[in-house]
Amino acid sequence: MKSLIIGEVNNNELSSGTLEIISKAKELSLDFSVITIGNSETKNIGCDDFTNTYFKSNSNKLNLSSCANEIKTLIEENNIELVLSNSSYIGRDLIAFLSVDFKTSPVSNVTNFEISNNELTAINSINGGESEYKVKINSDIKLLLIRPKSFEQTEITLNDSFETKEIQENENSIDVFDIHIEEKSGPQLEDSKIVISAGRGMVESSNLKLVEELANKLNAAIGGTRAIVDAGWMPYSNQVGQTGKTVKPDVYIACGISGATQHQVGMKDSKYIIAINKDEEAPIFQISDLGIVGDTLSVIPKLNENL
């Protein structure tokens, strides 16, 4: 099935979501090419295994309608049947344009897909990840929005062999008048092998220093529940869950987190889950590999002392 992956460049690199989709396409031996959207110069987004066209905006204009027009032409000229995109802001906008152009419904929040006898079945996650359903897609052009962390990211050797296309602004372009790039330090939530997340069971924000100390000792990234983000203990960018980030580390340590489904959907696929909660009935224990029934304020200092 001829396929096109809509990718993205962040910080001059292919985004992790793009690399995940490329890994899946390689696993299924799809005949695929990649188009990448970004606005900075980059040297490492091409690959010997696939062709990559880099759509680079020529100014501080976000011109997704022009990108969508170019993608539409690419799809038509190359008889593309399957378009895969990460479920990011840009991916969702572009897929929306294409769904209108090709009069076809996209399938969103896809966590896996299978192709057998040239028929495509997408596995879709609903109700905050509580239920899954399968859809067979019969349209000529199939548009899938892939949920981040659905596929393992395998090693791909990238090089500078890619074609660049400048996207011109037009009257529909949106003016980007300010870009705020959040300063990041230490291990990042999406990529870290260990994530330690805090919930309301840390009792008050000043106790987060215990979690920070533990994270420093384990070289871990720090996450949090929506409850503590809403309470202003942590920035939104640290929120794990349905309306936050999806993480899939080797070890996820939940400190004082009840384990609401909306939180679980963002972390339940972690390899090992360790939970500390004083309530032995807390739902987080149902998905934990190791559970510590105890007070976070006495358990975490002991861990810090002994590590």
Ligand X SMILES: Cc1cc2nc3c(=O)[nH]c(=O)nc-3n(C[C@H](O)[C@H](O)[C@H](O)COP(=O)(O)OP(=O)(O)OC[C@H]3O[C@@H](n4cnc5c(N)ncnc54)[C@H](O)[C@@H]3O)c2cc1C
User: Which residues of this chain interact with ligand X, rule CB under 6 A?
Assistant: 199-201, 203, 225-228, 239-244, 256-258, 260, 262-263, 266, 276-279, 282, 295-297
Q: Name which of 171 and 281 has its Cβ closer to ligand X.
A: 281
d(C-alpha 274, C-alpha 291), whole Å? 6
Cβ at position 294, least distance to ligand X in Å: 7
Q: Name which of 47 and 227 has its Cβ closer to ligand X.
A: 227
Question: CB nearest ligand X: which residue?
Answer: 241
Cβ at position 88, least distance to ligand X in Å: 16
Q: Name which of 112 and 242 has its Cβ closer to ligand X.
A: 242
Cβ at position 164, least distance to ligand X in Å: 37
Cβ at position 210, least distance to ligand X in Å: 11
Instruction: Report residue 187 as tokens.
Output: 């291990």
Q: Name which of 158 and 260 has its Cβ closer to ligand X.
A: 260
Cβ at position 62, least distance to ligand X in Å: 26
Instruction: Report residue 102 as tokens.
Output: 């090709």
